[in-house]
Amino acid sequence: MSVSRADEEAYQRLENTWTSVSQSLARKLRAVTDAQNLQLQHSLLVEAQADAHDAQAALDALEAEIRHMPYGLSSRAKKSAAAHTSELEKAMAQLRRYQDSVNSGQMAGVSHMDRVSRLNTDDQSRYLDQRQQLLQGSQMVSESDASLTRTQQVLAETEAIGAATSAQLVSQREQFQSQLENVHATDDFLSRSKRTLQRMHKRLVTNKLIQGAIIVVQMGACGLIIYLKYYK
């Protein structure tokens, strides 16, 4: 299963939960206006408050899931989430008006567990199922966040290693270039030394030939002098 497919399925589960909770909230608010006595209105407002709490939790889970979705899916989902937010704000405003008109001060001290305990068996079962789905969705989002955090850490470490390796390669390249320049300089020096030695060798041979010629000439001159002196 691809990542986008998994994201879409997770988003759809949360979307279904939101739809179920928001519809339940809307039914409770409509029923308040039809209630014939104050006690029934109080009971409906308690149930509506519980649905509003779950609707907000479902919307928060949806927005958290959208942040991890690909752009193609998130752009469409953001518009839907914005519409859900507007719908929930209107329902919350209507709920507050009903609470004020009935008895908002009395309801303020009722705990969330008290509101749940006042639901009938079917509503409690539906509420618990919805809450379990929300908890599972929140857990999935938390696990996705943790996985993304670990992935980002691995990417950061990999990037740091890559940068260090790149810097080391640049340093080694500079060293190789410096060594290559030294080799070229040494080769030039050896070439000049070789040419100098060749010139010195030629001069030495030439000097020896000249000295030999001088010696021969001198010996010839000495022989001629002796010949002229003693044999003439």
136 versus 42: the higher-pLDDT residue is 42
CA distance 154 to 146: 12
Question: Domains in the chain, ordered, with CATH?
Answer: 3-144 (1.20.120)
61 versus 114: the higher-pLDDT residue is 61
**Mean model confidence pLDDT for the chain:** 77
What pLDDT score was predicted for residue 9?
A: 76
- What's the token pair of residue 2? 């691809």
The predicted model scores a pTM of 0.42
Q: Is-contact 98 45, C-beta < 8 A? A: yes
> Which residues, 6 or more positions from 10, have their beta carbon under 8 angstroms from its beta carbon?
65, 137, 140
For residue range 156-211, what is the model confidence (pLDDT) as tens digits?
888 889 888 888 888 888 888 888 888 888 888 888 888 888 888 888 888 888 98
What pLDDT score was predicted for residue 108?
A: 36
Q: Which of 145, 146, 123 is nearest to 44 (CA)?
A: 123
Mean pLDDT, range 54-72, rounded to an integer: 78
What pLDDT score was predicted for residue 67?
A: 77
CA dihedral sign, ordered 116, 121, 122, 128: positive
Residue 110 has pLDDT above 60, yes or no: no
Mean pLDDT, range 31-57, rounded to an integer: 82
